Structure 1
Amino acid sequence: MHIFAHFSRFCAGIGGFMSKNIAIFASGNGTNAENIIRYFQNSELVNVELVLTNRESAFVLERARSLNVPFACMGKAEWMDGTAVLSLLENRGIDFIVLAGFLARVPDCILHAYPNKIINIHPSLLPKFGGKGMYGDRVHEAVVAAGETETGITIHYLNEHFDEGEIIVQYKCPVVAEDTAGDVAKKVHALEYEYYPKVIDSLLSEVR
């Protein structure tokens, strides 16, 4: 395990509510993670307390570093077992977990410790183009190859099966005949950046 925590922001009661600490799980570049961090940067009620990855080379670590968010990297064995990851989450006082391009399986012990408190975003309208191995450009290429006329994003709760958790909300965008997978990716990313932070904020508002 590699932990690179810069600092821990004070978690205080504001207006009778305790601020919520969220952890972001990400495996790659981290554009969604950065967007979420910036969205809540000045919030008094939601605090991005931790960015957690399964890859030491993930650029999301650099994004977290530059934004002064504590971050950590856990190895394959630690993700398979889950106890060290869960211990870190508990030590950081994490209330809610957000997956943003996270490609490892979340261990059962974490799923059980955070029931209906872990959400994921998928770049298609589930149940279409979901399941193990369907992520990123693979999804957009499949959408174009299938001749779909629309696609979008699905925000859903996490369970033991890839992309099968209860759907919270979906947002759509058109796919035209001339669109390449890259064109579809741009449309889907725009939906992700606009709506994912807002949905997180809304969900946390309901449990304050």
Structure 2
Amino acid sequence: MLNIGVLVSGGGSNLQAIIDKIESGYIKNVRIVTVVSSKEGVYALQRAKEHGISNTFIARKSFSNIDEYDEALIKHFTEHKVDLVVMAGFLSILGERFNKFFEKRVINVHPSLIPAFCGKGFYGIIPHQHVIESGVKVTGATVHFVELEADTGPIILQKAVYVEDNDTPETLQKRVMEQAEWEILPEAIKLYAENRLVVDGKRVKII
């Protein structure tokens, strides 16, 4: 059984997609053992509660530096025997200690086709605003292993979504979530649980 811990910061729609795929039996031998939010009172925690999943919030501002924050998260996930950490709309920055401790055991979903519209400052609605302003015709989502520098880790899965002429950042964000993020994040967890991911430098091979 693969134990996963999910990091969230908002409504938790990606968390719900994972829960749904586990409960339907599509993802086998995986259980969410804890959900951790960077903010108190977000709806993602309510989603976890409704499905009987342990949940809490650990805020960055409660700690004097990033190392202390890293240690608090490491302690929490270790106590819950977490094998894989999933960042599902998590907006806080994690430091070197956390990344080293969970090396190649943290995955993130990003709302663009990396390496476009990514990196520091590209989160939430912002990538979609830049997509529309740039005039590109195709965007999408990416699931990747997390490294210290934002959005630079080996890419596991990507899915494209066409940009429509009448799109706003909000309509595009919704469609990218529904057509890409909610599909490839659970799929990446499934592949990881089945030991089908092989990291070779910056490339991830699916076997």
TM-score (norm 2): 0.86
- For 1:51, give the aligned amino acid: V
Q: Deviations over 1:18-77 (max 9, x none)?
A: x01000000011111111122113565101101011111321111111111001111224
**Paired residue for 1:6?**
none
Instruction: Give the SS at the match of 1:36.
Output: helix
Q: Distance in 1 between matches of 2:134 and 2:57?
A: 37
**Paired residue for 2:164?**
176
Instruction: Give the SS at the match of 2:33.
Output: strand
**Equivalent pairs: percent with the same residue?**
29
Q: Distance in 1 between matches of 2:133 and 2:42?
A: 29
Q: Distance in 2 between matches of 1:109 and 1:177?
A: 44
1:53 is aligned to 2:37: yes
Between the two proteins, the alignment pairs up a number of residues equal to 190
Q: Distance in 2 between matches of 1:159 and 1:204?
A: 20
1:36 is aligned to 2:25: no
Q: 1:125 aligns with which of 113, 134, 153?
A: 113
Segments of 5+ residues of structure 2 without an aligned counterpart are 198-207
Farther off after superposition, 39-48 or 97-106: 39-48
1:99 is aligned to 2:87: yes
CA RMSD, 1 decimal = 1.7
**Paired residue for 1:20?**
2
1:74 is aligned to 2:74: no
| Structure 1 residue 93 displacement after superposition | 0.5
Q: Which runs of 4+ in 1 moved over 3 A?
A: none
Q: Is the 8 A contact 2:35 2:48 kept in 1?
A: yes
| Structure 1 residue 207 displacement after superposition | 6.7
- For 2:131, give the aligned amino acid: V
**Paired residue for 1:203?**
192
- Alignment CA distance shift 1:44-1:178 (3 Å): closer
Q: Distance in 2 between matches of 1:30 and 1:92?
A: 20
Instruction: Give the SS at the match of 1:68.
Output: coil
- For 2:86, give the aligned amino acid: V
- Alignment CA distance shift 1:110-1:207 (3 Å): farther
Q: Is the 8 A contact 2:33 2:80 kept in 1?
A: yes
- Alignment CA distance shift 1:148-1:44 (3 Å): closer
Q: Deviations over 1:57-115 (max 9, x none)?
A: 32111111111100111122448212121111111000000000000012322211111
Q: Distance in 1 between matches of 2:116 and 2:9?
A: 23
Q: Deviations over 1:142-164 (max 9, x none)?
A: 10010010000011110111111
Q: 2:48 aligns with which of 55, 64, 69?
A: 64
Q: Distance in 2 between matches of 1:167 and 1:96?
A: 16
**Paired residue for 1:5?**
none
Segments of 5+ residues of structure 1 without an aligned counterpart are 1-18
